[in-house]
Chain A
């Protein structure tokens, strides 16, 4: 069961990573021309269209991670301690807090991205997306790193 949950957590995180990265690119580097290049199409995505998906995926990923965390606490965490993988250990400790802060900003993120998008909140939207993007990237990379230390299903 734990492996199934871990894989589901990883897949949800992967989709979330794609969604929030697309949104951040659309916010900070919007397309200025109508060129049909790959990069231009990437930049031309409407950022607001990702909001609901990001909220649902963030909650799904966090809930799955919160369940798996109980198993990590009595298994993989001890491996990290015994192996003295302190940087990975610390990065994972930080992940727990960073993801929690992501949960804290989620209502504001959802609210400021609601239609109609008011121009006066443009910077707030951009910054909330950026912070959420950092949270998701940190969580994804550190989760992957910690998993690699112990190994899936070992």
Chain B
């Protein structure tokens, strides 16, 4: 069976949007929830934990995944004429750009 172009648009959009939203989520702490590894407690948004460190990583992933899924779902309904114009290379080019951005953001650890 020949795959539908809308799946291609969905996966390409998901990869690109997830990557971009994730880097902003990390930089501006847009965590959907936070987690306290010392107590095993979850809390909404960026609530600080009562004891020990607070983890936001899972919350950043949730934020990026939900945003990317919504945008990609909408994009997958693009008319075929527009869908064909979506460059599949965005699925790797945007993530690579985001990886470079993370290298830049965390460069301080390597320059000490």
Contact = CB atoms under 8 A, between A and B. Distances in A.
Interface of A: 66, 69-71, 73-74, 86-87, 89-91, 93-94, 96-98, 100-101, 103-105, 107-108, 110-112, 114, 116, 121, 123-124, 127-128, 130-131, 134
Contact of B58 (A66, A94, A105, A130): A66
A74 B11 contact: no
Contact of B91 (A90, A98, A112): A112
Given A100-B61, A112-B88, A127-B89, A70 B35 contact: yes
Contacts, number: 101
Given A90-B109, A98-B102, A105-B95, 8 more contacts: A66-B58, A73-B53, A74-B38, A87-B109, A90-B110, A104-B22, A108-B12, A134-B99
The bracket for how many chain B residues form the interface is: 35 or more
Given A86-B112, A107-B11, A73 B103 contact: no
Nearest to A124: B88
Given A66-B58, A107-B15, A100 B22 contact: yes
A86 B109 contact: yes
Interface string B57-70: 11011001000100
A19 B38 CA distance: 36
Contact of A94 (B2, B11, B57, B103): B103
A105 B68 contact: no
